[in-house]
């Protein structure tokens, strides 16, 4: 069953995001996962309550086996995004034994429909190698040229 997540699902969202990060970033090293978990719980709680975050999940036998999480923000309007609204898919994760059963596609369709209904015309994400094929099927394009800087 696919459904929208509520604040009662925050622990599961955090748990599966951490699994995703550990799979995607093999060289993540020693990290303070407890502190990160607490930060995520606060972020998801606030975001789900105020609408800055939306999440869908897939359940099998009362277990959450896949998630899709999106956050919403605004930037300076551009020529191709006049309202500056951007939706960012931060997480798409399926527990390994439930992969290749269409859950990711169904979750992506649900979360994209939600963004569209909220008036977002631009959706971005950072794809893992494993997820790239799904996003390309949905007609996401690989955009290069972005640069970033991180203050230490």
Q: What residue spans define the domains of the chain?
A: 2-137
Please give the structure tokens belonging to residue 111: 């979360």
Q: How many whole angstroms separate alpha carbon 61 and alpha carbon 53?
A: 26
Instruction: Provide the angle, in degrees to the nearest 10, between the axes of the packed helices 33-50 and 10-24.
Output: 130
**Chain segment 23-50, per-residue pLDDT in tens:** 887 767 778 899 999 999 999 999 999 9
- 3 state SS of 23: helix
The CATH number of 2-137 is 3.40.630.30
Q: How many C-beta atoms lie closer than 10 Å to residue 92's C-beta?
A: 24
Position 80 confidence tier, pLDDT thresholds 50, 70, 90: confident
**Chain segment 98-110, per-residue pLDDT in tens:** 999 999 999 999 9
């Amino acid at each position: 069953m696919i459904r929208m997540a509520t604040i009662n699902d925050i622990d599961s969202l955090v748990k599966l995001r951490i699994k995703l990060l550990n799979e995607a970033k093999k060289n993540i090293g020693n990290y303070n996962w407890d502190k990160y978990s607490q930060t995520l719980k606060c972020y998801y709680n606030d975001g789900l309550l105020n609408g800055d975050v939306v999440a869908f999940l897939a359940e099998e036998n009362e277990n959450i086996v896949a998630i899709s999480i999106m956050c919403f923000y605004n930037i300076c309007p551009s020529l191709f995004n006049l309202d500056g609204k951007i939706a960012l898919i931060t997480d798409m994760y399926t527990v390994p034994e439930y992969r290749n059963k269409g859950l990711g596609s169904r979750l992506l369709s649900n979360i994209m429909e939600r963004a569209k209904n909220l008036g977002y015309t631009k959706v971005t994400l950072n794809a893992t190698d494993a997820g790239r094929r799904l996003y390309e099927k949905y007609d996401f394009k690989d955009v290069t040229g972005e640069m970033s800087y991180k203050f230490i």
